[in-house]
Amino acid sequence: MITAKEKLVHIGDLHSDHMLWLNTLDFCKQEIGILEKRMEEIAVRNTHTEVLAELEHFQNQYIRQREVIDELRHDLKQHENALEKEVREHPIAVDHRLFKDHTSQREAMATFEKLYRELKDEFQQWLVKRL
């Protein structure tokens, strides 16, 4: 049931959001791989215990970010599957109906992007300090 406060949107807008978010998550996952390679290069050159402990902190954070990415991807895929089912079951009416906006996914992505950006910034600041 849709309440008066809930925003209504076309199914195409929901699908576009999903595609954008899935691409963002794929990009972030690839970027984590690049950042981890950078960390490996630093670990090889600098084996001080303190530096290795700091790198381990970032490694753990990147592991967690990958887990969050996988969870978000799963949630988005489930929502996309529900939209596809709606299209299959009501192929004509679907273009003329409005659907509840996916507020929870929107908020989850905003939170992920904010925390991911903060982690990248923290790592960049660490690099400047250590190199």
From start to end of the chain, where are the E strands?
Answer: 8-9, 99-100
Q: Taking the model in full, what pTM does it have? A: 0.89
Phi, psi at residue 100, to the nearest 5°?
-65, 135
Q: Which two tokens stand for residue 78?
A: 């489930």
For the stretch 70-104, pLDDT in tens is 999 999 999 999 999 988 998 888 888 899 999 99
Cα–Cα distance for residue pair 102/105, rounded to 1 Å: 6
Query: What does the block give as tokens for 125?
Result: 């600041």
